[in-house]
Structure 1
């Protein structure tokens, strides 16, 4: 920081800005520091992303950085004043960058004339993705006379309504929920998503890409175009006046590990280097007022994001000796005549938001569960003419080719069938009543489980918990010695646990957080608080591997506090077990980490039990732990998200905390989808070896895993490989992991046993063989094995032959690769994970029942059981059979995409109140224009359904002008419409129901 500040200040003081237009730094972090300094000194700053690709890489997995580079260069070239500085990490400017002629922009304004075909061509040439629904930047969707677009760099989308070819209105819309604002705007600007290319140039680049030998899964402008700019590219260090930091020069060897088409290494050595600062020192004052009193007479600048923050540091805004600057910069420096202090803390990089609009992508052939008829196979939506009127029906196939036609307004009666990864659904026989009997059996079992859960929760409420004093300086010191700053979620979770421990009530809290988000660190705070107060704690893990890892990590952190930590698991000898149990009983040991062996130990003064990967334990096992001592505090951790359905039900019984923010030093995992080749495997292994790392190779077939090992050894000789799978003894598996952690071999060849729990920071590449055969949730979990330190992780989803896998599988894999919402692959993974996570909460012992009725229905029934026993009896879901001779469906002319129509059918079918329907109708009009007649009539049909249920009506049918309504007590009433036209039948029915 001090070197860059002194250098740029010298330029500013001597009015020599033209001599520096490009500042080359080490990485993203240094670029942010330089950005703060450049802005503070009054220059206009433009920062390029750290682009860590290698020449020829498939750039779909670098789409975020590429879009960032495009946006920054576009802004830099269009800024016409001279006080501008481009800041770039060294890796980025070692590649040729697009010339200023590759950038452009245009505006769409109210009352403009738009030729849609021309606009489509232009946006395609400029690198925009055409999608059904715009959910992130650089996407565009055209539906009839409505254009949705989210320009590059914009957080909002823009919705353009056309009248013929004239722009009738422009409004911003939220890409999360698709709702547009009521206020119209005059115009908005569109910049290229890749480059502003004309048709001819684009064709030239595409021709070059076609000729290239590449392992890119899809060869197109988005994946490989950047490498074939040719005359459109230039090396910025040769074009602009440049300076380089000495840290960036130190990176040169790493930048040139691979022989790529980069700027000649020697060229960087000729760029003027920013020398070490002689005058400035970096500072971190603890007490700012006291620090300033030692530096009186110097020029003092205080940087703060707000006036309120200045007051919170007890500084006077009226002090004329201090120059206040209000922005978010972080600069802390002192020299002989100047002091600069920032009150701001580092702002974490914003993660991409998850799109709330999760599309229910039921594919033809997926298994579904009907609440009454059981498991069947979804076969799409079919229009059927009934009594001369056209309606849409969901087609579900059952055993013996029986077909169920479900009216779309009742689509909420079916749910996706999910059990576990290995389960394959068995379809039920339609109309035999066997599914109803099965449901009753499961319901009885669930009531027993729910009853146990509630009894224990109620009993614990009556018991006074062990009160732990959490207000100790040692606890603050422990957090500071973690070697990293806690995320805001970690701080909040620690506070919630401390509040529980301090409350005098018995704690029962569940912490959910993704792999590597720091759950164990949170747990250690609780353990330390308990031990410092003179009590004991047990840490229970599902496997010896995990127990061993936690033992080494926790022992290392607790040693300096003089806390005795022991291990008790299947690998411990009888002598060791007896010693640990004896020490626990007489109070010599405060912390024991182990597996199921801990379920039956005796303790002297146990106050806290921590259960890791709690979804791996059955309900009974968890309750047995609670019975070790009735006033013991329970803290559970799980890497699977808690499903919305269970969250409310369970939160009445236990506390919930969640970690949603990744640690600041963690880099994302770079993901690639590749077709298998020996050359590819060799390149991946050698690339990881060159940076001193190790690899996971996932091959999910024990029968052929030895043959796979021989293949890899042949492809990459002199490489050390070991195999691990579920049939290897736990003790041997643990030794293997220890050897892998000690870097005694290079590749751990495994089945999906490595999916959860392992923390091996030096293994940062993972190859997943046969990725198309894994569920998207499993792929997400496996990817979480790497990138767990401050090193970038690489994940390769490898398929045998891309010609043989379905379009859908390709779409989902590519969606995972680009980490975007091009399909809704990742949103779907999240949904799947939620469902899986929910089943896990109940415990693996229930997997038989779950397999029979699917997780979705199982959770629903458990929630009902918990609610009933808690006294919040839920209303039975009611339905009405509507057989009106009207054409009512969401027309494919109105909404072309089947998946979007299916999503709207699903949302409308779940409406319980007519106001909810009107909100969706307003949204549909906003997104797709005014509904056509069949669509409008379908919306009215949903209103009829809601009103009929509220009036206790079972069936509504019509013949000619007669409409018959049957009530729940089987009494019937017949009304007449003024004609047999659709609108009159609807009008008469609504009029009756609204009375």
Structure 2
């Protein structure tokens, strides 16, 4: 962004150009840029130019007709970096794994067992499908697939380890599971109440609004060199809406590395500074503090904003000077590690705290943060993905924004599994150095890391090689890291310390030596260090000729899943468990393990809804429906067990008749016309949902007769019921008055199941 004097000079040049009387059209990349330009054009009187949205490499003139210019030519700056998307954005955070025989599952009422597959069973005159679960001692439980919502896959934090022990099975009908489940419920209730109380206190706390966007805010946002992704736009709107409100912001921004979280933080910080307040940016490492200082400094260079960084790279005297400036409000944005939470650091008017990866701070620092959060705006950034279910549960406790769209210029990292070969290594490193780039070489054994570095110096003599590992002195390690970030080192040979946090867009080739010794999540995190710019990135997983079967499977998964966002799908199990731990806290991890991750989230969701609802709503109880004819999805209709389970699971989760009809239409489109058993399955699902809203306890259908019984607390109007059933040509007889029980006889008209659905649907208010 150019300063006002330069812009004014550029506009004077434009006015001189227009003396030839030729009409001028100025093309802007986006609406924000056009709005900003319109303001500038109107400052010195009207200018005979039309503004339009469009992208051109450069302007042109059609003699005696029109002059077309781009906004970049007027302000004499390089073109905005806009590239055609060559790859799809890949998978989003949500990913439902298929249940396979042999997987551990947890039943809401009976606990942990082993899923053994699907079997057809005969229940009350009808054929249905059931999931078979085996428990301790070989006992088996058949769970009708229309109640598949009672089953969750069993996963725990221990699953992250490759050699994790199998969970202990529960005894069918035993009391141990029920006690454990209730203990977990109470722990969740305690945690949730504490979070809700904090949330409630923040809701009643007010602070002056940061005000609406001004010209400078629009100028900053339109000067972003890349086109905003849809998620970046939404995140910007969410954050600005929070800042313009009257209660303090507490928003968690979740997005993969390089998906634009820092840009959102810069925009938020600039808005707070324009409101006359100071901003603290809290990061877990000194290297990250330096990186953020560069990012903030570059973006805000054309504005009167004072940005300082406080880290161990500075002497005590230099830090004391910055602390004094903060007290006198001579610093607008301060970026640093947990040093910023020290008692001697005081702010004249702190308005916003940006926290990068809060889970990497200690308990003491988190407590200090919790105190600040009550009255200060807080924006927390994290690259650890969280599962959608946890996102929904916590949505009632704190504000979350998910950023799942990859930027336009990101391309997948090409991944190769190869043996350690000097020719390959020399070729790949030389290619990277020839294009002015840098290389990560990960070797996770400190005893031999220097020998590997010496070997690389011999293989590529022109490369500047440095070594970094966790047993080095802190200042020495930080110095090496800093040299690599600033381009003074060509190859960084390191242990897993580069797994997270280091952002070097210029480094786009990585080697991982003995990759067979690392887990899937570790390899995914390591690969995420490269591919952060528009350049093609390469990751070489170096392994010996023979590796064990499990390692081969892990490496193959990583090698074949390179599309953008695939990392989330590949390592989601590991990463989401880690993410859940970060958000829920270590004290809850034992309960997550005892009942399984998915059931824990379900219990959390139920607890949040109950507490948020103030006990106002009655629990939703579906009607029990029994048919005397088959009601299932035949194998010759849906052959894939995975697809079949997916339909059953989605069907049991629906509580709206329109949504059930929509799913029925989708199944018809995917698999063809519904056979009679599948049609009956969707019909019974409709009856369960409609019956729940009318207080129906059970429906039994036999040939041309049906029994409908209502719950004791239901108050149905008999006159309305009779009219509805007569409308479909059913005779109504009252078998019991309290609770109401009806016998229905089909006299003609619709088939029994269809007539029941039509009659009961007509009674729904």
**Shorter-chain TM-score range:** 0.7 to 0.9
Provide the C-alpha distance between the structure 1 equivalents of 2:54 and 2:215, rounded to a whole number of angstroms: 34
1:422 to 160, 165, 189: 160
Residue correspondence of structure 1 range 479-628 to structure 2 within 5 A: 490=232, 493-494=235-236, 496-531=238-273, 533-551=275-293, 553-554=295-296, 561=304, 563=306, 565-568=308-311, 584-585=326-327, 589-601=331-343, 602-605=345-348, 606-616=350-360, 622=366, 624-628=368-372
Alignment CA distance shift 1:612-1:961 (3 Å): same
What is the match of residue 910 of structure 1?
653
Provide the C-alpha distance between the structure 2 equivalents of 1:368 and 1:698, rounded to a whole number of angstroms: 37
Alignment CA distance shift 1:961-1:799 (3 Å): farther
Bigger drift between 797-806 and 916-925 goes to: 797-806
Deviation of 1:786 after TM superposition, in Å, equals: 1.0
Q: Would you say the 8 A contact 1:962–1:976 is kept in 2?
A: yes
Residue correspondence of structure 1 range 39-118 to structure 2 within 5 A: none
2:68 to 341, 354, 358: 341
Residue correspondence of structure 1 range 649-728 to structure 2 within 5 A: 650-651=394-395, 654-664=398-408, 666-678=409-421, 680=424, 683-698=427-442, 706=447, 717-718=458-459, 720=465, 722-724=467-469
Deviation of 1:371 after TM superposition, in Å, equals: 2.6
1:897 to 636, 640, 645: 640
1:411 to 127, 148, 156: 148
Does the alignment pair 1:762 with 2:498?
A: no
**Cα deviation code 1:701-760 (max 9, x no counterpart):** x6x5645775686588446463535x7776565344224324435143333x53433211
Q: Would you say the 8 A contact 2:91–2:569 is kept in 1?
A: yes
Deviation of 1:764 after TM superposition, in Å, equals: 0.9
Deviation of 1:627 after TM superposition, in Å, equals: 1.5
SS in 1 for 2:281: strand
Provide the C-alpha distance between the structure 2 equivalents of 1:456 and 1:395, rounded to a whole number of angstroms: 43
Residue correspondence of structure 1 range 778-793 to structure 2 within 5 A: 780-793=524-537
Deviation of 1:515 after TM superposition, in Å, equals: 0.9
**Cα deviation code 1:105-161 (max 9, x no counterpart):** xxxxxxxxxxxxxxxxxxxxxxxxxxxxxxxxxxxxxxxxxxxxxxxxxxxxxxxxx
Alignment CA distance shift 1:875-1:550 (3 Å): farther
What is the match of residue 749 of structure 1?
494
Bigger drift between 590-599 and 923-932 goes to: 590-599
Alignment CA distance shift 1:925-1:661 (3 Å): closer
**Cα deviation code 1:409-432 (max 9, x no counterpart):** 112222333444635452441333
Alignment CA distance shift 1:583-1:688 (3 Å): same
Alignment CA distance shift 1:442-1:826 (3 Å): closer
Alignment CA distance shift 1:310-1:389 (3 Å): closer
Q: Would you say the 8 A contact 2:415–2:562 is kept in 1?
A: yes
Provide the C-alpha distance between the structure 2 equivalents of 1:305 and 1:600, rounded to a whole number of angstroms: 45
Deviation of 1:910 after TM superposition, in Å, equals: 1.5
What is the match of residue 102 of structure 2?
365
Provide the C-alpha distance between the structure 1 equivalents of 2:597 and 2:120, rounded to a whole number of angstroms: 30
Could you tell me which runs of 5 or more consecutive residues in structure 1 were left unpaired when the two chains were aligned: 1-282, 316-320
Could you tell me which runs of 5 or more consecutive residues in structure 2 were left unpaired when the two chains were aligned: 1-6, 42-47, 72-79, 713-737
Deviation of 1:689 after TM superposition, in Å, equals: 4.0
Alignment CA distance shift 1:595-1:373 (3 Å): farther
Q: Would you say the 8 A contact 1:615–1:840 is kept in 2?
A: yes
SS in 1 for 2:372: coil
Deviation of 1:924 after TM superposition, in Å, equals: 1.7
Question: Higher relative CO (CA 8 A, sep ≥ 6), structure 1 or 2?
Answer: 2
TM-score, normalised by the number of residues in structure 1:
0.58
SS in 2 for 1:443: helix
What is the match of residue 445 of structure 1?
187
Alignment CA distance shift 1:582-1:716 (3 Å): closer
Residue correspondence of structure 1 range 172-187 to structure 2 within 5 A: none
2:668 to 904, 921, 925: 925
Q: Would you say the 8 A contact 2:701–2:707 is kept in 1?
A: yes
What is the match of residue 76 of structure 2?
none
Alignment CA distance shift 1:798-1:484 (3 Å): same
Deviation of 1:613 after TM superposition, in Å, equals: 1.8
Measured on the aligned residues, the alpha-carbon RMSD in Å equals 5.2
SS in 2 for 1:628: helix
Alignment CA distance shift 1:635-1:770 (3 Å): same
Q: Would you say the 8 A contact 2:282–2:340 is kept in 1?
A: yes
**Cα deviation code 1:562-597 (max 9, x no counterpart):** 62513257x887777777656655656554433344
Does the alignment pair 1:935 with 2:678?
A: yes
Alignment CA distance shift 1:413-1:875 (3 Å): farther
Provide the C-alpha distance between the structure 1 equivalents of 2:191 and 2:476, rounded to a whole number of angstroms: 36
Deviation of 1:916 after TM superposition, in Å, equals: 2.6
Provide the C-alpha distance between the structure 2 equivalents of 1:522 and 1:479, rounded to a whole number of angstroms: 10
Q: Would you say the 8 A contact 2:252–2:379 is kept in 1?
A: yes
SS in 2 for 1:939: helix
Residue correspondence of structure 1 range 264-413 to structure 2 within 5 A: 291=15, 294=18, 296=20, 331-334=58-61, 340-341=67-68, 349-350=84-85, 352=88, 360-384=97-121, 390-413=127-150
**Cα deviation code 1:60-102 (max 9, x no counterpart):** xxxxxxxxxxxxxxxxxxxxxxxxxxxxxxxxxxxxxxxxxxx
SS in 1 for 2:646: helix
What is the match of residue 607 of structure 2?
865
Alignment CA distance shift 1:819-1:663 (3 Å): closer
SS in 1 for 2:116: strand
Provide the C-alpha distance between the structure 1 equivalents of 2:498 and 2:628, rounded to a whole number of angstroms: 57
**Cα deviation code 1:373-392 (max 9, x no counterpart):** 33434333334456786532
Residue correspondence of structure 1 range 770-849 to structure 2 within 5 A: 780-796=524-540, 804=549, 812-813=557-558, 815-817=560-562, 837-849=579-591
2:200 to 458, 472, 475: 458
Deviation of 1:538 after TM superposition, in Å, equals: 1.9
SS in 2 for 1:515: coil
Provide the C-alpha distance between the structure 1 equivalents of 2:9 and 2:113, rounded to a whole number of angstroms: 67
Q: Would you say the 8 A contact 1:764–1:794 is kept in 2?
A: yes
